[in-house]
Amino acid sequence: MMAYFTELAQKTVIVTGGSKGIGKDIALTFAQLGANVVISGRNEAKLNEALLELKKFNGNCIAVAGDLSDIEKVKQLIDLAASTFGTIDVLVNNAGVNIAKPAMEVTEEDWDTVLDLNLKSVFFASQAAAKYMLRQKSGRIINIASQMAFVGYVKRAAYCSSKGGLVQLTKALAVEWAKEGIRVNAVAPTFIETELTSKMFEDAEFKKDVENRILLNGLSQPRDISGAVLYLASDLANFVTGETIKVDGGWTAI
């Protein structure tokens, strides 16, 4: 019987925003397969907690604290991963933020906060990682976008803009780097049941609206997103680039 995903053992995998939620689950999935995982995040305590969990599966995993809105921190993260492990095989651009406000209340600072982390930092992380991937003539970049790249929703003008831009950035980089052996794809989740969204779902009306729009029963779990990322990182997706996989329970199908 063919053993899937064994090729990911000892690969160098960077997961931004890897200390909690979707990012942490993605990082754990790779660590369980024997990959050398590098996680980043702003909360050092949470980051260290996550690292302890990763090390149960692979003692080579490391954590790097820093705010990736600072492009110098982005470059330092990538260079540290490369100098530690010698290669960068997979970059998962997961770090992101949303400031939920009616469009008429969004400030310039709000807009910049969302776009700087969700789009600008992803480009420069990809650029920094590609510096190494181009030398190797191989690499996978996987961006965590959102179903909000394809549909609108209230109080998400900046967020929808950032994720729509991310889907287009995914295509642009895929086109430019395809001949160099770098595959660039994205995963677009719906609302995920995590500690980050639990406060949002305290609003019963909002939770009901979300559940009514998702055709499959219940809310998505982090593992649903990790599965799509794992596929794109593996040899199973060798002929896939420039694609965004929606993991939205059918939200955008209607």
Residues taking part in catalysis: 159
Instruction: Please report, in angstroms and rounded to a whole number, the separation of the first and last CA atoms in the chain.
Output: 39
CB-neighbour burial class of residue 142 (10 A; exposed 0-12, middle 13-18, buried 19+): buried
Beta bridge pairs of residue 192: 220
Nearest to 91 by CA among 16, 187, 190: 16
Residues in CB range of 100: below 8 A, 6 or more apart: 155, 156, 159, 200
CA–CA distance, 230 with 13 (Å, rounded to integer): 11
Contact at 8 Å (CB) between 22 and 144? Answer: yes
Please state the three-class secondary structure of 134-175 as a single string.
Answer: HHHCCEEEEEECCHHHCCCCCCCHHHHHHHHHHHHHHHHHHH
